[in-house]
Structure 1
Amino acid sequence: MEERPLVRKLGAFVALSEVEHRVLDRLHKRRRKFVAGRELVHQGQSYQAAYILMSGWACSYKLLPNGGRQIVDFQIPGDFLGLRSVMLHLSDHSIEPVTDIEVTEVHASDLLEAFSATPRLAMAVMWAVSRDEAMVVEHLVNIGRRDADERMAHFLIELGARLALVGLGSKAGFACPLSQYLLADALGLSAVHVNRVLRRLREAGMVTFRDGFVTFDNYKKLTEFAEFEPTYLDQIGPLLPEKISLRA
């Protein structure tokens, strides 16, 4: 049977035991499918289930009073959707599928039962959530302090590293369903500006985004240009030493 993305992701933190694999299997018992554009979680919504993304892409975003939207992050297979909302009983952001997706629905009671049975699994999930928070911090730096070309380069490298962790990308490239409008909402640019930035990066021989695929034409040059430091992605806790590294 093909390894589930969440299992592969958590396996980067700790070598999972048979018991932990069985507990994760139980978390995947409620399967649901959503079509692209159908909102899973609404900003301000009270208690609801969390989800584990099995296939497809989603985005989390904040809506502004003037109708504008800031995409906070994109979710890929292996990511949790709405986990913080379940714990806090109120969602401070919305989540929407970018493509058709398959998820497993997880209730707070499911998580409490799993964590009680396997404390190491709780630590692994905490690592995954902490890693997601570190990415949000980096995104803030991206928008606030990097110019448009560096911003795009950094974003694409990070996305490639995240996808590589679950077997969906490499330093050669990755399939990417994101439109220029979605990239614009995530990076604080206009769609026209996104188009120009991608053209400049392509003409510089660093990366090409065409027909739904990102190709790293010169990965080393791109990481140097973006001053990409992967520490925030592969910072693994000292208590559980089994790990992989995203470093070159």
Structure 2
Amino acid sequence: MRELTAELAIQDSPFARKLAAFVRLSHHDLSVMSELYGRRRRFAAGMDMIHQGQSDQCAYVLASGWAYSYKILPSGSRQIVDFQIPGDFLGLRSVLFRTSDHNVEPITAVQASEVKRRDLLDAFANNPRLATAVLWAASRDEAMVVEHLVDLGRRSATERMAHFLLELGARLRLIGAADKKGFDCPLSQYLLADALGLSAVHVNRVLRELREEGLVTFQKGRVTFDDYDAMIEFCSFDRGYLDHDGPLLT
């Protein structure tokens, strides 16, 4: 009975919902995932979970709350690489590399499941389906980084913001935390500025322009798509790189 309860709990988790976009999860998959999901920790906002340069770093699966990964340059300046939402792996490279190559800091209070290197490697060795699903998730995250490079290099500031908000909405819809009307979002203009290569003043101006064009409103922690289809057309958003169209591995 306890195993069945754990399996039902993991089946409804953001982690399982995300992986289910690629692999149809079996009872055995869910059982292995529930074991990985069991060592739960809490972190306060602003308290780094993963430290750049640290060795023997564990990974985490985010169960609730938001976080962001970032790099600190020798000058002390910061570049946000990406934002993490429930269901995402945090620091997967930190488990496989000898030292962590980035930091992860919670934006809100978070709960996360601690995953140690040995547990992860054992799970992959004994469950190739789960390993393949996690590889898919890592590949999708890499595809998002490619799009972010295109954002910084070739899209205008307004297109960059529109594309980012649509991508974030698609990621949240996958775990049941958004719809085409919008989503709750705890990101400040300063965080958006660091991630999108803009100043906070520029972020404010860009959001105002998008609102005045009747595309999207971001106010009081809520993103509202005023015209979802027009927003997609405006920034040529093609969600194909997110690969959310249903399981390939059954």
TM-score w.r.t. the length of structure 2 is 0.93
1:32 partnered with 2:41 = yes
Amino acid at match of 1:12: A
CA distance in 1, matches of 2:53, 2:84: 20
Instruction: Quote the offset at 1:223 in angstroms.
Output: 0.7
CA distance in 1, matches of 2:188, 2:201: 12
CA distance in 1, matches of 2:232, 2:248: 30
Q: Which residue of 1 aligns with 2:196?
A: 187
Q: Which residue of 1 aligns with 2:205?
A: 196
1:99 partnered with 2:108 = yes
DSSP-derived class of the 2:104 partner: strand
For 1:33-72, list aligned pairs within 5 A. 33-72=42-81
Q: Which residue of 2 aligns with 1:154?
A: 163
Amino acid at match of 1:68: S
Instruction: Quote the offset at 1:236 in angstroms.
Output: 7.1
Instruction: Quote the offset at 1:231 in angstroms.
Output: 1.3
Instruction: Quote the offset at 1:237 in angstroms.
Output: 9.9
For 1:6-21, list aligned pairs within 5 A. 6-21=15-30
RMSD value over aligned CA atoms?
1.5
DSSP-derived class of the 1:104 partner: strand
Instruction: Quote the offset at 1:117 in angstroms.
Output: 2.0
Q: Which residue of 2 aligns with 1:205?
A: 214
Matching residue within 120, 135, 138 for 2:129:
120
Conserved in 1, the CA contact under 8 Å of 2:22 and 2:247? no
Taking a change above 3 Å as real, the CA distance of residues 87 and 81 of structure 1, as seen in their structure-2 partners, is same
Instruction: Quote the offset at 1:80 in angstroms.
Output: 0.4
CA distance in 2, matches of 1:113, 1:45: 23
Q: Which residue of 2 aligns with 1:245?
A: none
How many percent of aligned residue pairs carry the same amino acid?
Answer: 65
Instruction: Quote the offset at 1:126 in angstroms.
Output: 0.4
CA distance in 1, matches of 2:108, 2:117: 26
Q: Which residue of 2 aligns with 1:246?
A: none
Which string of whole-angstrom CA distances, capped at 9 and with x for unpartnered residues, describes residues 88-108 of structure 1? 121111110011000000011
DSSP-derived class of the 2:71 partner: strand
DSSP-derived class of the 1:232 partner: helix
1:166 partnered with 2:175 = yes
Instruction: Quote the offset at 1:66 in angstroms.
Output: 2.2
Instruction: Quote the offset at 1:39 in angstroms.
Output: 0.7
CA distance in 2, matches of 1:37, 1:43: 15
Structure 1 runs of 4+ with >3 Å offset: 235-239
Instruction: Quote the offset at 1:43 in angstroms.
Output: 1.3
Taking a change above 3 Å as real, the CA distance of residues 54 and 118 of structure 1, as seen in their structure-2 partners, is same
Aligned residues between the structures = 241
CA distance in 2, matches of 1:92, 1:112: 20
TM-score w.r.t. the length of structure 1 is 0.94
DSSP-derived class of the 2:29 partner: helix
Query: Structure 2: any 5+ residue segments left out of the alignment?
Result: 1-7
Amino acid at match of 1:46: S
Instruction: Quote the offset at 1:85 in angstroms.
Output: 1.0
Query: Structure 1: any 5+ residue segments left out of the alignment?
Result: 243-248
